[in-house]
Amino acid sequence: MSDDKNETEGAPGPGEDGRRRERVIGTPSPAREKALLAEDDISAPAGVGEQLDEASMKRAERIVATFFLVAFAASVTFIAYFIGWSGRDGGMHGVLRARESNFWLGGTMALSFLAMAVGVTIWVRRLMTSKPIVQERHELAADEESRAAFAQDFMEGAEDSGITKRPLLRRTLLLAAAPLGLAPLVLLRDLGPLPEKRLRHTYWGEAVKKAQAEGKKGVRLVVDGTNKPLRVSDFSSPGGMITVLPEGIEEEVPEEQVLTQNAKAVTILINVPPDKFKPAKGRENWHVNGIVAYSKVCTHVGCPAALYEQTTHHILCPCHQSTFDATDAAKVIFGPAARPLPQLPLAVEDGYLVATSDYHEPVGPSFWERG
Ligand code: FES
């Protein structure tokens, strides 16, 4: 009995309440439903390809194979893009090309899974016989009889799918699955390279060296966004917080490195009330009248610790609520961060706030290799 015939016989009929029932697209027609329920022995093996004639089955087979080939092409494109094009224009792993690489990697991977899913769905719906399958609830440990029944069902399913008799489908399916299996291995590349010593230094160190070579005390702090050097008098009210960077970072760092250098050097400046301030041992002269500078990169996993509570003098990281005490060397008082925010030594030169050295310890998450 063909599907077309079923569709004709299965036209919606009146329900128990006498009203015309609408048939949901994709569900068996009422006539087909009755026929299925009437089958006494539902475990009897169904003949392979009972539902379609040979020509229709061949057509369906070609359609399925086409989807598998599309899945294969998409997976290969994913890997080729990841490897082949990753070196262009500073690499797709940089911040600048994240959107483009997300689009292509996500798009090709999604297309591959979609094509594979559509192919398998058409295979099951068009080339395998349909019959109701009832699975009774049973104990978790199956008895011998159940296992034998499962093995028999499995073999029937394998026979029904025609995977041994249809080499074209079998080979294109394996072809489509192979690159997908390799994709996770390729992604391991994103775990490296290790940062090694690159986090030990920020642009503050380089800028301070240049300034000191010109006979200055240190490099001036500029306000993030305006690049305006900051006078002590501009930041004299206790309770304030502002984000600063080393002067010259925008002009002197190569353009493709500006974002990376900014991300490492970004610093928060806080004016802590003098009566609350507790300078750490050995850092007594690292502040200017209670104005202190700490790295803005959270020592948990690197979010910007960008919130400041004026009344408690707490610096908060919004990602996982790590809390640092601005009055006490930015020590951790709550949350998952494992160490304080690194502190930048400050001084005054010609009325401007300057940094007199780089951070004395690496900025950023504690788990990064800091050797
Ligand atoms: S990144 Fe700051 S608390 Fe997790």
- Of ligand 1's atoms, which has the minimum distance to the CA of residue 303? 1
pLDDT of residue 37: 52
What's the CA-to-centroid distance between 330 and ligand 1, angstroms? 14
pLDDT of residue 9: 42
pLDDT of residue 6: 42
What's the CA-to-centroid distance between 366 and ligand 1, angstroms? 11
Q: What would the mean pLDDT of 79-84 be, rounded to a whole number?
A: 83
Instruction: Please report which confidence band the pLDDT of residue 87 belongs to, taking 50, 70 and 90 as the band edges.
Output: low
pLDDT of residue 331: 94
pLDDT over 70 (residue 218): yes
Q: What would the mean pLDDT of 111-130 be, rounded to a whole number?
A: 92
Q: Extract the tokens encoding 198.
A: 């690159």
- Of ligand 1's atoms, which has the minimum distance to the CA of residue 336? 3
Instruction: Please report which confidence band the pLDDT of residue 19 belongs to, taking 50, 70 and 90 as the band edges.
Output: low
- Is residue 288 a contact partner of residue 348, using CB atoms and an 8 Å limit? yes
pLDDT tens track for 316-346: 999 999 999 999 999 999 999 989 999 999 9
Average pLDDT score, the chain: 82
* Cβ–ligand 1 contact at 348 (below 6 Å): no
* Cβ–ligand 1 contact at 304 (below 6 Å): no
Q: What would the mean pLDDT of 15-37 be, rounded to a whole number?
A: 55
Question: Rounded distance, CA 250 to CA 174, Å?
Answer: 52
* Cβ–ligand 1 contact at 303 (below 6 Å): yes
What's the CA-to-centroid distance between 320 and ligand 1, angstroms? 5
What's the CA-to-centroid distance between 337 and ligand 1, angstroms? 6
Q: What would the mean pLDDT of 194-210 be, rounded to a whole number?
A: 85
- Of ligand 1's atoms, which has the minimum distance to the CA of residue 365? 1
* Cβ–ligand 1 contact at 322 (below 6 Å): yes
pLDDT of residue 265: 94
pLDDT of residue 11: 45
* pTM of the predicted model as reported, rounded to 2 decimal places: 0.55
pLDDT of residue 199: 74
Instruction: Please report which confidence band the pLDDT of residue 221 belongs to, taking 50, 70 and 90 as the band edges.
Output: very high
Running DSSP on this structure, what letter comes out for residue 368? S
Distant-in-sequence, close-in-space partners of 366: CB < 8 Å, separation ≥ 6: 299, 300, 337, 338, 339
Running DSSP on this structure, what letter comes out for residue 333? E
Share of the chain above pLDDT 90, in %: 47
What 3-state DSSP class applies to 258?
helix
Cα 55 to chain centroid, rounded: 45
Instruction: Please report which confidence band the pLDDT of residue 172 belongs to, taking 50, 70 and 90 as the band edges.
Output: very high
